[in-house]
């Protein structure tokens, strides 16, 4: 029997997505013999090979089938106009491509950009947006530090990636319209063969288990037995909690899985119902 060909996954060689991409593979139990200077590395315990590539080249490698899949920002796929299949949104590197103008310049909507100069590193995505809105503008493509363009008189507006908005703020710019929203995704090649598609399915099974568990906590607490029905009412989204009798008469232990951010909303109410010994435990994986 021939050994199966490994699934080749492209990740950023350096950049914002790299650390989260490698962490995700690690949380999926995949051990990579990593040498940062290497172009590729094999995994020890899963049929996968990691290719470290330049961010902007990844969509092309995936489209051509040189890589079977890749972890890449959705916006890069759009910008590079590549035909790849988005198989999973990963929930990190969330950002938006936005239009921004100087804070003190009047702005009453995208129509105001007609005939104006817009600086960007994402000319394709911007042009698609302008076309959709029937606007003709002069796009100045620059490769970095786009946010200083209005200050130095190069452009009237910019179109750039924003996550917190602090870079815009520091440069006296105001976010006006969102061109597109983006996050890191797993994209697959149209040329992926059946053997590797099977490996991809196994990988996606693990990725789903990891992503499902992020932000979820296992919650345990002791509650006077007579308060259990009320506590169940308070806990959001609770379908079927585990309720166990404690050795101490009149007390029960309630266990459930909860979204961590929602937990903080109900903590005071739980305490009012005399819940005590509250434990919040991280979950590694959830298999549904």
Residues that bind ligand AMP (CB under 6 A): 12, 15-17, 55, 73, 75-76, 93, 95, 161-163, 182
Q: How far is the CB of 68 from ligand AMP (least distance, A)?
A: 20
| Look-up of token digits 């199966």 | 4
Q: How far is the CB of 152 from ligand AMP (least distance, A)?
A: 20
Residue closer to ligand AMP (CB basis): 17 or 270: 17
| Position with the least CB separation from ligand AMP | 73
Q: How far is the CB of 19 from ligand AMP (least distance, A)?
A: 10
Q: How far is the CB of 122 from ligand AMP (least distance, A)?
A: 8
Residue closer to ligand AMP (CB basis): 77 or 275: 77
Residue closer to ligand AMP (CB basis): 14 or 44: 14
Residue closer to ligand AMP (CB basis): 15 or 102: 15
Q: How far is the CB of 85 from ligand AMP (least distance, A)?
A: 18
Residue closer to ligand AMP (CB basis): 55 or 252: 55
Q: How far is the CB of 118 from ligand AMP (least distance, A)?
A: 17
Residue closer to ligand AMP (CB basis): 127 or 167: 167
- Please write down the HEC assignment for all residues of the chain: CCCCCCEEEEEECCCCCHHHHHHHHHHCCCCECCCCCCCEEEECCCCEEEEEECHHHHHHHHHHCCCCEEEEEHHHHHHHCCCCEEEEECCCCCEEEEEEEECCCCCCCHHHHCCCEEEECCHHHHHHHHHHCCCCCEEEECCCCHHHCCCCCCCCEEEEEECCCHHHHHCCEEEEEEEEEECEEEEECCCCCHHHHHHHHHHHHHHHHHHHHCCEEEEEEEEEHHHHHHHHHHCCCCCCCEEEECCCCCEEEEEEEEEHHHHHHHHHHHHHCCCEEEEEEECCCCCC
């Amino acid at each position: 029997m021939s050994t199966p060909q490994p699934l080749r996954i492209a990740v950023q060689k350096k950049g914002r997505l790299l650390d989260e991409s490698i962490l995700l593979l690690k949380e999926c139990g995949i051990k990579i013999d990593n040498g940062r200077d290497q172009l590729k590395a094999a995994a020890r315990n899963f049929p996968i090979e990691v290719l470290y590539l330049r961010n902007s080249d990844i969509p092309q490698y995936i489209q051509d089938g040189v890589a079977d899949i890749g972890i890449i920002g959705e916006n890069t796929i759009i910008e590079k106009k590549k035909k790849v299949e988005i198989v999973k949104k990963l929930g990190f590197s969330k950002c938006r491509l936005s239009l921004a103008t100087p804070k003190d310049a009047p702005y009453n909507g995208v129509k105001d950009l007609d005939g104006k100069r817009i600086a960007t590193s994402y000319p394709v995505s911007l042009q698609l947006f302008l076309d959709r809105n029937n606007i003709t503008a002069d796009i100045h493509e620059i490769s970095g530090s786009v946010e200083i363009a209005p200050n130095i008189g190069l452009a009237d507006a910019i179109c750039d990636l924003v996550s917190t908005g602090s870079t815009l703020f520091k440069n006296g710019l105001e976010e006006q319209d969102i061109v597109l929203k983006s996050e890191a995704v797993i994209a697959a090649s149209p040329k992926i063969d059946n053997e590797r598609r099977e490996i991809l399915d196994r990988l996606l099974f693990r990725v789903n288990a990891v992503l499902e568990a992020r932000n979820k906590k296992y919650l345990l607490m002791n509650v006077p037995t007579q308060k259990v029905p009320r506590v169940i009412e308070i806990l959001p989204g609770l379908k079927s909690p585990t309720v166990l009798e404690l050795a101490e008469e009149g007390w029960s232990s309630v266990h459930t899985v909860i979204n961590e951010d929602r937990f903080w909303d109900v903590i005071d109410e739980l305490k009012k119902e005399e819940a005590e010994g509250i434990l919040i435990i991280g979950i590694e994986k959830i298999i549904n």
